[in-house]
Structure 1
């Protein structure tokens, strides 16, 4: 049973793409088949996985979404790239900006990405969607396609405060489009443990959201090594395997696997009734 997870936050610079890369490769290191989907027109996920000129790729997510919208046939593996650390990638680039405009006039416009994901997800244990830093039509499509959401939040006051808008969007998508959508949890990123301020933000998040949502036990520390991985086109495991960020992402990956295992067990129990 495949699980589709959207990594979403309308605030940029919260470590969303870095988390997508390191969670995806962390899951692959645990023997899972993983597809990463770059649903951001900036192509940062594609770039971070070593494909440094996403705008020159012949087939990207925009290509496939256009085919879905025009009801043109395509092969399930079309355009998927294999990255050397064991994950597959559906790349994204600037053409997604035009797709977002086109979606406005498309029938069942919220379901276009879901239609694509449904044709490929059977081959994978996990599909991770790296969303745009906005609450536009592509992000709505990602939430409509997903089984669950992970929300990376930087340990600063304003990014944490801005989560209210994202939670309202998730609630609206759940009510109107995708009733099965769950929030797996909030992941605190770029945490500078040397400062009282960062610890205060961690406390506030757990106090304000902990009774309604899971806040992951793992907190991703502020790390120059993690920031360097994008330019290297590698995960933190390849770039700095013994560092604090690699250990944190390993622990986070285990939490995500545990959630997936519990959800699978519940699903099997429901089927057995």
Structure 2
């Protein structure tokens, strides 16, 4: 199973909407592929989109999954691991996986979902405590950080691709998600905080430019290496929401060039952390989705199955321009084609 994650240490980069559009487009283009989506985020925004969005009871449907016996979500799975954190015997993933198409016909039928859950925040302290428990002869951190890897291994015969959405934190549940990924998409927007976000992400994942060797010995990458586990590689930096016009806004040029400059230095100094050798190969510019994007988010409808015209949003009719929708669809098709 190939596993690609969406993450950035900075919020507000449009990560979840990009993930939703990209995953659904990829699934529609590869209708024979078996696809699992894992939402490792307490807000569970991607799950709500997959299950119908605000307009089509996505939140209600998500609560229904949380209310099922055993809790059909990532939180339900973690709950079963807490009493026996180092034991994988008897692991049965099927009971935690749902079929979004049964709730939202706009989502391709070949997608399955391990839904997000606010329970993750309540579980975070307990999970972190378990990971740092000192047990002679046992690498507790490595055992816990493999929880999602264990889950994917148990259902690997049933899926070809897995996509993982993560929130901007670097809590233990985010590290569990990162540890399961082969590749990462890092969305950024054209501002200085996004530039710092890329620098922070590289520091958190790979230990680059940490203030002292004390931190370096305990960073994510060092612990993964010590446990014999591969760290994920940065596969794409998605420059998101650049402009509502045809060309990238000039006011963003300096920030974007700064991000490219930083990336170029990182790739040259640490080529093993990337799947690309030139920044131009690993970056993709995505224009603002405008009205069509707002409607897609509200209705839980990906561009690949959206129709232009007048659509209902929050009790009002909103017009989706056909040309705008076609442009957005083309952008996302190209974006999804770069996943593998």
State the TM-score, normalized to the length of structure 1. 0.85
* Residue 219 (1) aligns with residue 285 (2): yes
The answer on whether the counterparts of 1:174 and 1:181 sit within 8 Å (CA) in structure 2 is: no
CA distance in 2, matches of 1:64, 1:81: 13
Deviation at 1:153, TM superposition (A): 0.9
Correspondent of 1:236 among 295, 303, 312: 303
* Residue 182 (1) aligns with residue 248 (2): no
CA distance in 1, matches of 2:64, 2:94: 19
Deviation at 1:217, TM superposition (A): 4.4
CA distance in 1, matches of 2:13, 2:159: 27
CA distance in 1, matches of 2:286, 2:329: 9
Other-structure match for 1:143? 178
Deviation at 1:228, TM superposition (A): 2.6
Question: Relative to structure 1, is the Cα distance of residues 63 and 219 closer, same or farther in structure 2, using a 3 angstrom cutoff?
Answer: same
| Pairwise CA RMSD | 2.1
Structure 2 counterpart SS, 1:25: helix
CA distance in 2, matches of 1:12, 1:217: 19
Question: Any unmatched runs of 5+ in structure 2?
Answer: 53-57, 102-107, 131-139, 207-218, 268-273, 309-324
Alignment of structure 1 residues 117-196 onto 2, 5 Å: 117-171=152-206, 172-177=219-224, 178-192=229-243, 193=247, 195-196=249-250
Structure 1 counterpart SS, 2:5: strand
CA distance in 2, matches of 1:113, 1:98: 18
Other-structure match for 1:254? 337
Deviation at 1:247, TM superposition (A): 1.1
Structure 2 counterpart SS, 1:12: coil
Other-structure match for 2:74? 61
Alignment of structure 1 residues 86-125 onto 2, 5 Å: 86=109, 87-106=111-130, 107=140, 108-125=143-160
Runs of 4+ in 1 over 4 A off after TM superposition: none
Other-structure match for 1:262? none
Deviation at 1:239, TM superposition (A): 2.5
Structure 1 counterpart SS, 2:240: strand
The answer on whether the counterparts of 2:237 and 2:284 sit within 8 Å (CA) in structure 1 is: no
